[in-house]
A and B are shown apart, each in its own frame.
Chain A
Amino acid sequence: MMSNIDVLLEVKNLVTEFSTEDEIVKAVNEISFTLHRGETIGIVGESGSGKSVTSLSVMQLIPNPPGRITSGEIIYHSKNNGPVDLTKVSTKDMRKYRGNEIAMIFQEPMTSLNPVYTCGDQVMEAIMLHQKISKKEAREKTLQLFKQVQLPRPEQMLDTYPHQISGGQKQRVMIAMAMSCTPSILIADEPTTALDVTVQKTILDLMLKLQRQHDMGILFITHDLGVIAELADRVIVMYKGKIVEQGPVLDIFSNPQHPYTKGLLACRPPLGKRLHFLPTVSDFMEHTENGEIIEKPKSVSEVLASAEITAAEREIQHKEIYSRSKILQLKNIKTYFPIKKGMFGKVSDYVKAVDDISVDVYEGETLGLVGESGCGKTTLGRTILRLIEPTSGLILYKGQDITNLPPKEMRSLRKDIQIIFQDPYSSLNPRITIGEAIMEPMQVHGILKNDKERKERVMELLKRVNMTEQQFYRYPHEFSGGQRQRICIARALALQPQFIICDESVSALDVSVQAQVLNLLNELKKEFKFTYIFISHDLSVVKFMSDRMVVMNKGKIEEMGDADQIYNNPQTDYTKKLISSIPKGQLQDIQASIETKKNYRAPIQT
């Protein structure tokens, strides 16, 4: 076991409060945990569970007002100064620890770097702040760090501005910055949530490698248990500001105790089997009126068993779908964007966002479209609706060529084909009540006789997406991300479409909420006989949803076929890489990674 000398951080009965206009919210409520040298603790929970507030409390970066640490201790065992309580040190002293001994990586690599300074400058700044070395030495050191975090062309990278590099590269710069003073503790707040799975894998590998080299303690915060399965030594599960369960990673995964943990584990779309619906947290627990959690009697395996689709069922289903007619046919679609223009607007170079794609969609089918960011999947989705005009190619909807349909007819066709966008926060107008937002498309297309009938219909729709009628008069900011996405779904349903394109519709949501929305989409499909095109970067989600799946890469189709077949037997290297990068969170993988970690750590502990 680890001795006391190895203790890096002790959080004891920490309470962090945020005061809003009418109440005081305990974002973190009496939590205690200990982090040791060389250990990774994964903190898991949905948004609002207090996991980020925990990390910001350790860094003393809680925005004040409205936030405040009201009680508890955060004892950091400093290399040089011995144990200090971070809640009591002065701002000036805290600055000596920040970035120097305790470093942090944030969720959004896109916005976490200052756009007006070069990557090199920003890392050098951190180095020169805490170490007394010359600018030249700092630059040399930054170059070493860039090499260490495996940035391509490290010399050039020093003078590159953040907007010129990709998200994954930015996160590497952030890691280089965090590592610049070889901190004892690294806090990573959802560092890979905004990244593609393949990039996520390389970043996680990199963090593990750096941890071994420097024997750091890592606090890894995420909403997705799968991500930390192979990374963490111990897991803390947070729910509503409290720690509901903590323990070694293998125990949490093999034998979760708390119903919330069970729900979190079960609600990720499983890769091995087919389900009718995804279990959600509410399958395992419910709240009493005074907020206590009651466990429901069902076990995870029971719920999963009741949801499973057998291969025979699926075969029958597919036979029926593929005997129907084709609702949408795409023939050699190309969508190019001009990138270079001459002095007089003559285009000299293009980005081939969609490059010669031909796909058929059958009535009642769910076609999955998967690929990494920049592969052209979103552009393809929008091209189908002609929100972006195709450069060339043919779009046939129910046999009718809509490629050159005049705008007026196209508008009435849009009633039939609806799209649900990625970001539920920005796709609702903040100044329009949600009832009006759902009613508006009906008014535009003249559906139903008058507003009274339309309002009734909105009420029905709200109930259908599991919201209440009273919420008609509420504004978008009063709702959570999952609720807003359900409102967007209701809005799409208002026009009684036959064809719905879901463009990353669940990507901005927590896994537990994601499961609810996916279930809703599937229920609606059964009820209204929709055809879906389901676009996502997350292969596990696409696989769960779709009958057939298209893997896109650089504007072209990499692979197309039955979703299960592609997953079980990928043909191209790209698909193989995509599948192997998915964090699966399976027990044998966790055990294997624990074994490798032991081998690394053995020489240090003797």
Chain B
Amino acid sequence: MVKYILKKFFYGFLVLFGVITVIFFLFNVLPGDPATVVLGQRANKEAVEAINRDLGRDKPLLVQYLMYINDLSPISFHNSKDRNSAFYLDEQKYSYNFLMSMDEGACVVAKAPYFRRSYITKRKVSEIIRETLPETAVLAFSSILVASFFGIALGIVAAIKKNTFFDRLALVLSALGMSAPAFFVGVIIAWLFGFVLADYTGLNPQGSLFTTDVWEGEQLDLKNLILPTITLGMRPLAIIVQLTRSSLLDVLSQDYIRTARAKGLGFYKIIVKHALKNALNPVITAISGWFAGLMAGAVFVEIIFNWQGIGYEVYDALTKNDLPVVMGATLIFATFFILINIFVDIIYGILDPRVRVK
């Protein structure tokens, strides 16, 4: 099992490396000159060149790529003396610990990954992410939690009560939930529950996890989580209902379920013990895929509800051509995807002994 997990992490690392490479080259062929982003269209030539030198854009692409990797890697190689070196160990950029240092300034350091700085605000991208990521994570997590819980429960009931009124209703509703676009439903939900019915629900049409009150300062406002959670969780919920239903129906027609019945087991014991453990595998795949997807895909919902998450930040950065923020956020999303997939593989290994063998 340990070997299995290590292997998954190793593959995950390879994927991450590929993602970094793709991100780097992709954003480098995009039109848009960072210097003009920073200085505006009418900047003078010297200033533009200075900025380009500062960003390392005067160097060949391959060197820039190595610089980027060196910046991201927790263990990196630098030159601590030569200020003009592409790999100069700049205290402005990194907070580091020396691991090894050789003469002529070459050294190896351990550091937190450096995602560079925003062109606009000059703040470290890692800081921006640290501020906004938890908000998005909370939203995505609560959405997927709600979607999984209700989705699996409804799916099971629909499968057991196959072809009854409830089953049909669940299918119709989930088809609706799947096809309704979030940006539209989000607005409706915000308007209906946060405005028209606000007197009964006591909810705000917009608002973030933390609200800043004039008198009491920043405070946690959990009720603001409800509407965005519903909006964001609706599609995964609809899909989980259908997936659980079809997967469970499929498992229930298997021979080993007949064996369990022939043993004399009761109906609910068969469902819970023999069917669910087999049926939930595809559901877990879907949930994990969605969770990672929600992290990245919460943009619309965050804008509608004015939720100060990373999606909102990325949207903002994209409109301003603020590449480091976009690249940093993309990398974080990718890392999440990979970590969650490793996590799911491990759960698989626990749930299904057949997976463990290879």
Contacts and interface: CB of A to CB of B under 8 A. Distances in A.
Interface in B252-282: 254-256, 258-266, 274, 277-278
Interface string A155-170: 0000001011000000
Task: Bin the interface of chain A by size.
Answer: 20 to 34
A129 interface: yes
Contacts of B130: none
A116 B262 contact: no
B125 to A, nearest CB: 34
A126 B261 contact: no
Contacts of B353: 115-116, 161, 163
B259 A106 contact: yes
Nearest to A126: B263
A97 B264 contact: yes
Contacts of A103: 262
Contacts of B266: 95
B350 to A, nearest CB: 10
B264 A115 contact: no
B354 interface: yes
Task: Bin the interface of chain B by size.
Answer: 20 to 34
A112 B263 contact: no
Interface in B223-264: 254-256, 258-264
Q: Which of B258, B277, B357 has the most CB of A within 10 A?
A: B258
A510 B11 CA distance: 48
A161 B256 contact: no
A61 B254 contact: no
Contacts of A174: 259
Interface in B300-358: 351-354, 357
Nearest to A181: B264
Nearest to A129: B264
B10 interface: yes
B53 interface: no
A114 B263 contact: no
B274 to A, nearest CB: 5
B340 to A, nearest CB: 22
Given A116-B277, A343-B10, A99 B258 contact: no
A111 interface: yes
B264 A95 contact: yes
B352 A115 contact: yes
A204 interface: no
A145 B325 CA distance: 65
Given A95-B266, A106-B255, A163 B261 contact: no
A125 B264 CA distance: 10
B263 A61 contact: no
A114 B262 contact: no
B93 interface: no
A59 interface: yes
Nearest to A94: B264
A59 B262 contact: yes
A96 B265 CA distance: 9
Interface in B131-166: none
A112 B351 CA distance: 19
Interface in A174-192: 174, 177
Interface string A113-154: 111110000000110011000000000000000000000000
B7 interface: yes
Given A106-B255, A174-B259, A343-B7, A115 B265 contact: no
A343 B9 CA distance: 12
A177 B263 contact: yes
Contact of A125 (B265, B278, B352): B265
A100 interface: yes
Contacts of A117: 274
Nearest to A56: B258
A104 interface: yes
Contacts of B10: 343
A114 B264 contact: no
Nearest to B275: A114
A98 interface: yes
A108 interface: yes
Nearest to A115: B354
B259 A112 contact: yes
Nearest to B354: A163
Contact of B256 (A104, A115, A129, A130): A115
Q: Which of B259, B265, B353, B354 has the most CB of A within 10 A?
A: B259
A125 B263 CA distance: 9
B278 A96 contact: no
B316 to A, nearest CB: 43
Contacts of A97: 264
Q: Which of B7, B10, B255, B357 has the most CB of A within 10 A?
A: B255
Nearest to A116: B277
B278 A114 contact: yes
A163 B356 CA distance: 11
Contacts of A100: 264
B315 to A, nearest CB: 41
Nearest to B257: A114
Contact of B264 (A106, A108, A126, A164): A126
6 contacts: A98-B262, A112-B258, A114-B274, A116-B351, A163-B353, A177-B259
Given A97-B264, A129-B263, 12 more contacts: A61-B262, A98-B261, A98-B263, A106-B255, A114-B274, A116-B277, A130-B264, A163-B353, A174-B259, A177-B259, A177-B263, A343-B10
List of 10 A-B pairs having minimum Cβ-Cβ separation, nearest first: A99-B264, A98-B264, A99-B263, A111-B255, A114-B256, A161-B353, A95-B264, A112-B255, A104-B262, A126-B263
